Amino acid sequence: MKLKIFALTTLLFLSATICFSQKSDALNWKFSVQEQGGKSVLVFETTIKDGFHLYSPYNPEGASKPLEIKISDTQNYAAVGAIKEAVKPTEKYEEIFDVTEKYFEKSAKFTVEITPKSFVKQAVTGHISGQVCNDQYMCSMFDEEFSIDINPQQPEGEKKKPILSTSPSQNTDSPKEEKPQEDKPKDDSAVVDSAQNADTVVAPIAQADTLQNSESKADISSQPIEPINEGDGLWSIFIIAFLAGLAAIFTPCVFPMIPMTVSYFLKKENKFDAIIYGVSIIALYTVPVALLIIISNVAGGGEFTAGIFNALSTHWLPNILFFIVFMIFALSFFGMFEITMPSGIINRAENRGNKGGLFGAFFLAFVLVLVSFSCTGPIVGSVLVESASGGNAVKPIVAMFGFSLAFAMPFTLFAFFPGWMKNLPKSGGWLNTVKVVLGFVEFALGFKFLSVADQTYHWHILDREVYLAIWIATSILLGLYLLGKIKLPNDSDIPFVKVPRLILALIAFAFAIYMLPGMWGAPLKALSGYIPPLTTQDFVMGQGNVNQAFAQSTLCDKPLYGEHLKLPHGIDAYFEYNQAVECAKKQNKPLLIVFTGHGCVNCRKMEEYVWSDNQVLATMKDKFVIAALYTDDRTEDISGNSTIGKVNTELQISKYQINAQPYYVMLDASQPEKPLIAPQGYNPDPQSFVQYLQNGLNAYLNNAK
């Protein structure tokens, strides 16, 4: 008897393990919903194949696996009820488990009652799992996904009360307390009903309601609101610049100078000179940039300074010059020629440094900056130009401080602790390898400047697939170089490949493989902002099948500048403010203004990481008229007296007292002088952006009442 039980138990276990997490051929599920006054009853029905039985959700512990229904995102519902059985299950004592099991034959039906937090059409998703067996104890475990569309109706008695709730995607611990609304017209329920028919959440959220009361209506647009996460942007610039400064140390122009510099300070008893030396390095990189910004602010104001940096990052002339400079520096790194500062300048600075004292330490730092220019120049230029994009004049100062801090650290620390010198690797051929690797990086980054000019002026000479092809080829060549398959003029012989070179080669090849699907339209989200947008690509595999659910145009008429400008993910938009306002009035929709730019890295990140979210995409396309206003586009505007970018920049500064992208503003087209809710800047969290859009919709509906 025990042997029989053991054999049957083993058979049950093996058969269940083999078939786990699959659909069962013995079951044919059908999912539906019944709406009951603010609650939705999910219905799960199945027919069961002859000779098989399905176990009850309340099968006793220690028996066969009971049926489970798990609903995703339960925080979106005020209540989720227990599983109810529509018919009574069969009960039978099972000798194997020594319990009375409960199961269904032929058919089964279960219901789960949920109470949504908001009355909006939505999809309830989850998994239904359990175990189904035949009379010979051949069993299988199943785990099947379900998606049920619900459209809960607000109870008649509650329609005149605003429900303080979040959108279905928000993480909310508990529903907020309901408060009756006073002094509302009797036809409020009609407005609510019509909004429900449009699949819109009409329950005003606290923030939207606050912004619509009498106190908040006092001219929001007159108060400049900084975009969120600006501090995060400064920190990211600082970290990137700091890492660039560390990389610059390990170049042939800089690394050999560490022992030479330290030997100078070993002769001095006063270590204070070493501090002056480090501070001088930081000052030589940071102060000139800060002075230029201060002078431009004094001469023309903050807008003038922002305009300078915006021009540096988007105008074709500086971008072409930066591209050429980067190519020259890359060729120099490859060993084609050597770039050095004039010897006369270096000699005079060195003579002053030899005199000692505080001025001697300063001029010694000046010598270091001059001598290392051929290696640090391209790195500094890259960091400066990248930090200048977006019009924020503080970023270049932060970038130079981060770079110079990392660059000055080893010289100052080794001057204080000369014993550490013994742990430094000796100069040799590896330094030239570092320089060549930086040359490959410089070569690839140089095309970023050419790409910005290409997008801004719509030349279409460096579209996405061409850009990716260049980066893929560069990455492959870098990998081959690290493996010793390519040898450049100043390289030493490599008898064998060391482990660090092998690891770097693997990274280079992996990067090339990662980019390869982008040639056929893969999004490559990790590179968003650093490669041209997908809208510039000529061929995207399966493009006809992408976002078919949102394919219908929502535009009133053909958008101005639409032959040059497009938004990703099939989003229809206007690119001229007044045209968008008129369409929003005709369609009775709120207007979503997106201040963006071709050279804006964070704008591309928002498009790839946030706009691509299904809920964000559906809301933007269905509920708003969108105006995408490029602040750096050089296309001539309809007046013929300016460019699109200049007009949009002036509009953003004059109305919202800010010049930063991305920047999102929601308006009621009938009252465009003030935002519906507080504008928002860069925020890479899709759920937070959904909440922002929902707040604006609620505020717009409140305005319409």
Per the model's pLDDT, the better-predicted residue between 336 and 627 turns out to be 627
Report pTM.
0.54
Strand pairing category for 625-630 and 591-596: parallel
> How distant, in Å, are the alpha carbons of 19, 59, 106, 129 from that of 49?
17, 20, 6, 17
What's the pLDDT at 535?
A: 82
Residue 426 φ then ψ, to 5°: -75, 150
What's the pLDDT at 209?
A: 38
Mean pLDDT, rounded, for 373-398 = 67
Per the listing, tokens 């059409």 go with 121
Please give the Cα distance from 585 to 588 (Å, whole number): 5
Q: Which two tokens stand for residue 189?
A: 């329920």
Q: Is residue 404 a contact partner of residue 282, using CB atoms and an 8 Å limit? A: yes
CB neighbours of 75 closer than 8 A, spacing ≥ 6? 170, 171, 172, 173
CA angle 306, 309, 312 (to 5 degrees): 150
Q: What is the mean pLDDT of the chain?
A: 76
Is 2-150 a CATH 3.40.190.10 domain? no
Per the model's pLDDT, the better-predicted residue between 661 and 263 turns out to be 661
Please give the Cα distance from 135 to 114 (Å, whole number): 36
Amino acid at site 677:
I
User: pLDDT digits over 30-57, tens only?
Assistant: 999 998 877 889 999 999 988 889 999 9
The burial of 249, by beta-carbon neighbours within 10 Å (0-12 exposed, 13-18 middle, 19 or more buried), is given as: buried
Q: What are the start and end residues of each CATH 3.40.30.10 domain in the chain?
A: 546-704
Q: By C-alpha distance, which of 1, 46, 4, 57 is closest to 24? A: 46
Q: What are the start and end residues of each CATH 2.60.40.1250 domain in the chain?
A: 2-150
What's the pLDDT at 340?
A: 62
Q: By C-alpha distance, which of 513, 437, 438 is closest to 472? A: 513
Please give the Cα distance from 694 to 204 (Å, whole number): 9
CATH of 546-704, one of 3.40.50.300, 3.40.30.10, 3.40.630.10, 3.90.550.10: 3.40.30.10
Of the ranges 144-148, 212-216, 318-322, 343-347, which is most confident?
A: 144-148
Long-range contacts made by residues 267-276, C-beta under 8 angstroms, separation at least 24? Answer: 268/356, 271/415, 271/416, 273/356, 273/357, 273/358, 273/360, 273/361, 274/361, 274/412, 274/415, 274/416, 275/412, 276/358, 276/361, 276/362
Please give the Cα distance from 286 to 399 (Å, whole number): 8
3-state secondary structure of 176: coil
CB neighbours of 243 closer than 8 A, spacing ≥ 6? 406
pLDDT confidence tier of residue 132, bands split at 50, 70 and 90: confident
CB neighbours of 69 closer than 8 A, spacing ≥ 6? 42, 44, 57, 83, 110, 112, 126, 127, 128
What's the pLDDT at 188?
A: 37
Per the listing, tokens 């279960």 go with 110
**Other CB atoms within 10 Å distance of the CB of residue 79:** 12
User: pLDDT digits over 466-478, tens only?
Assistant: 999 999 999 999 9
What's the pLDDT at 578?
A: 93
Mean pLDDT, rounded, for 228-256 = 73
pLDDT confidence tier of residue 387, bands split at 50, 70 and 90: low
Q: By C-alpha distance, which of 670, 672, 668, 690 is closest to 680? A: 690
Per the model's pLDDT, the better-predicted residue between 189 and 581 turns out to be 581
> Mind giving me the DSSP string for 602-616?
HHHHIIIIIITSHHH
CA angle 323, 326, 328 (to 5 degrees): 110
CA angle 566, 571, 575 (to 5 degrees): 45
Please give the Cα distance from 571 to 225 (Å, whole number): 27
Q: What is the CA radius of gyration of the chain?
A: 33
Mean pLDDT, rounded, for 153-164 = 51
